Structure 1
């Protein structure tokens, strides 16, 4: 049994089932707690969101659920609200690209700040935090495509923050990424790119504190995390595929490692991204942007510059370590009788290694990333901006009701019926 601890406090899953939903609901009443789900409208046509809704329906102690929704039409906003009707807590569907929201965000340019995009998860998270932090002390974030979502996920993620005696400010999830259909290992960006990359950088520059910090996370690209509102309000939010690593960099900047924990959520499955046919597609695009984010963190926190002189060494080290990891994951899969495509994994390492040279050149040309400013900074510029964002969202919701004349939408049957038992955790 793994019970090891390190720089980052690890909450293990000992598979004893020691969960108590009644006690958890009571704990939620001790601190105002919101859950934030950034969401595309297309997720409402997939079964995962129904699984999430059914699990969250048991949390009657939750302060609010914030859905940061990207939608094309006002009717979609109303459909989303109807989908979550009847939950035992307020549900705020925040239309991230709604007309009133867009008008408000454009006005922020008068302050010399651009917060109008680019659209994506980072932008949705930034807006959702502005809404959630307006009436919560703790915020937990989950993706909308988690097919294995169960009540254990929010319970294990949020409890370390609800009891002040633990002293925690930030909690990051880790889990076993296995496909529900094939049982094959997923998470290639973490297994085959980020892990070997960090190990390679450590060999080039030595055990720098920032690299040790990143390597302490079992799953640094996990999109599920929770934090205190005090911390959330002071984080700059990256607006590209480097969101998860960029947020870890922000947390490193603001919080002592003793106030950070990672929590094992067990089995986990959500949408799988394809490798892509070009560096601008799929996992290759994601890996390229993550690489630039890691380089930026080294420069910001360690004053460390990766130059073209380091590139050849980095490329050779990454390929060697990546190929070693493929062998290790192959053995792990074999003993656990999991299918494993070694050739496909080797090709992924090959494609990822080809991203290092153009990524370094791109970073050298544009070392400053587009980050959305922290809400604490925005409030120092305009104390009403956060409340204005909440009011603009309410205005867009009212507009959606008027536009659709209170017409209630219909849903596919799988959105209104319980999910099969094999999707539950």
Structure 2
């Protein structure tokens, strides 16, 4: 049995009865209302797993509101999603993040020196959804729309440590086994083969000076997109607008909270869509790794006295390859003992791809950071936005409702 605790509290799944937790959540949510954010692309409406998520959510009476944060290219796509979620019995709202009404509010923010024109993608959509979700909630959970193995226990496990006043955590990160048990395949390649060895390599080269890097290594799955936090904490965080979202968010939580108020929770086995490596850093896993490299170098720059030079990048590159190769041998042994398919050659090829990105992206960072600072990938926190536009959250909610009203008036 795994009882191991990290620098942050680890809440294990000991296969006990979760019904007691769910019943307690239903009582807690009366005084501490909870919201759930689901960021999604329109194309995910075609996935059968989204229908299962919707059906499982209908069992979650402890959720007071669901905010669907949607990126759609046309009104027809938006209306299709709205109709799909009519079978969701919980109170919910679809925020069409790139629709004309929400976009108008975002464009007008520039009049108050809050220019969001450079931001796009999941990070921006999550930022907008937090504005709406935080209006009437004590805590907010978030997960993606492509979870194949989803059940009502997912949001329950995420929210319970936040809503329970006897625990009173401010942030809870999910972790899980990225294994397809039917096919016997081990996934989670970016975390296993890049993030973990890269963090160790960075930490070695900053001489353990960065407590944030040490903190990031305490999370069993740094890249998990499933987490929950108090609404108040959510308003204080600066969100990265790219694939550095999950890692950058953890660094922000570290700055704005404490180890004692942070935990991680075992969500069991997890299966969702998988990306190809990509031809270059503009797509697939390569794009993800590129953005994470930028985020982690920014964190190292902010939290240590290290100078990110060409020699520093070269040193991290060499150490990364060594640590990644050590992990491949360990994963190989784990896979054999669990009767999983494991191709060491393919894993080595991924390490080669990721190591080249470290060199190219790292050198670009140190060459051009004085001209085009990586700080620009971070959006301002909600507290700053509200100091400039006090009713911004209400404006966004009203814009989302205006889209719905125009649909119903047809």
Short-chain TM bin: over 0.9
Match of 1:320 in 2: 322
Higher relative contact order (CA 8 A, sep 6+): 1
Deviation >6 Å, runs of 4+? none
Alignment partners' CA distance in 2, 1:303 and 1:53 = 48
Q: Cα offset for 1:180? A: 5.1
| CA pair 256-394 structure 1, distance change in 2 beyond 3 A | same
SS in 2 for 1:35: strand
Alignment of 1:143-292 (within 5 A): 143-179=144-180, 181-207=182-208, 208-292=210-294
Match of 1:348 in 2: 350
Alignment partners' CA distance in 1, 2:352 and 2:62 = 49
TM-score normalised by L of structure 2 = 0.95
Q: Cα offset for 1:181? A: 4.6
Alignment partners' CA distance in 2, 1:311 and 1:77 = 44
Contact 2:206 2:304 survives alignment (8 Å):
no
Q: Cα offset for 1:78? A: 2.6
Contact 2:39 2:126 survives alignment (8 Å):
yes
Q: Does 1:111 align with 2:112?
A: yes
Alignment partners' CA distance in 1, 2:250 and 2:161 = 18
How far does the alpha carbon of each residue in 1:272-304 deviate from its partner, in whole angstroms, 9 at most, with x for none?
A: 011112233211111111011001111222343
Residue-pair matches, total: 403
Contact 1:288 1:359 survives alignment (8 Å):
yes
Alignment partners' CA distance in 1, 2:286 and 2:188 = 13
Alignment partners' CA distance in 2, 1:258 and 1:138 = 18
In structure 1, list runs of 5 or more residues that go unmatched.
406-425
| CA pair 301-400 structure 1, distance change in 2 beyond 3 A | farther
TM-score normalised by L of structure 1 = 0.92
Match of 2:377 in 1: 370
Indicate the RMSD between aligned Cα atoms, in angstroms.
1.5
Alignment partners' CA distance in 2, 1:195 and 1:359 = 18
SS in 1 for 2:166: helix
Q: Does 1:390 align with 2:404?
A: no
| CA pair 388-89 structure 1, distance change in 2 beyond 3 A | same
Q: Cα offset for 1:400? A: 2.8
Q: Cα offset for 1:193? A: 0.2
Contact 1:117 1:123 survives alignment (8 Å):
no
Alignment partners' CA distance in 1, 2:277 and 2:168 = 40
Q: Cα offset for 1:252? A: 1.0
How far does the alpha carbon of each residue in 1:153-192 deviate from its partner, in whole angstroms, 9 at most, with x for none?
A: 1111110001122131000011000125522111100000
Alignment partners' CA distance in 2, 1:13 and 1:162 = 18
Contact 1:210 1:302 survives alignment (8 Å):
no
Alignment of 1:21-40 (within 5 A): 21-40=22-41
Q: Cα offset for 1:4? A: 1.1
How far does the alpha carbon of each residue in 1:186-223 deviate from its partner, in whole angstroms, 9 at most, with x for none?
A: 11000000000011112222223111101000001000
Alignment partners' CA distance in 1, 2:227 and 2:11 = 13
SS in 2 for 1:59: coil
SS in 1 for 2:407: helix
Match of 2:304 in 1: 302
In structure 2, list runs of 5 or more residues that go unmatched.
none
Q: Cα offset for 1:22? A: 3.0
SS in 2 for 1:237: coil
Alignment partners' CA distance in 2, 1:276 and 1:118 = 22
Match of 2:4 in 1: 4
SS in 2 for 1:68: strand
Q: Cα offset for 1:117? A: 5.0
Alignment partners' CA distance in 1, 2:231 and 2:312 = 40
| More off after superposition, 235-244 vs 305-314 | 305-314
Q: Cα offset for 1:43? A: 0.8
SS in 1 for 2:190: helix
Alignment partners' CA distance in 2, 1:33 and 1:319 = 43
Alignment partners' CA distance in 2, 1:112 and 1:322 = 44
Alignment partners' CA distance in 2, 1:62 and 1:144 = 17
Q: Cα offset for 1:77? A: 2.5
Alignment partners' CA distance in 2, 1:142 and 1:291 = 23
Alignment partners' CA distance in 2, 1:374 and 1:254 = 11
Match of 2:51 in 1: 50
Q: Cα offset for 1:13? A: 1.2
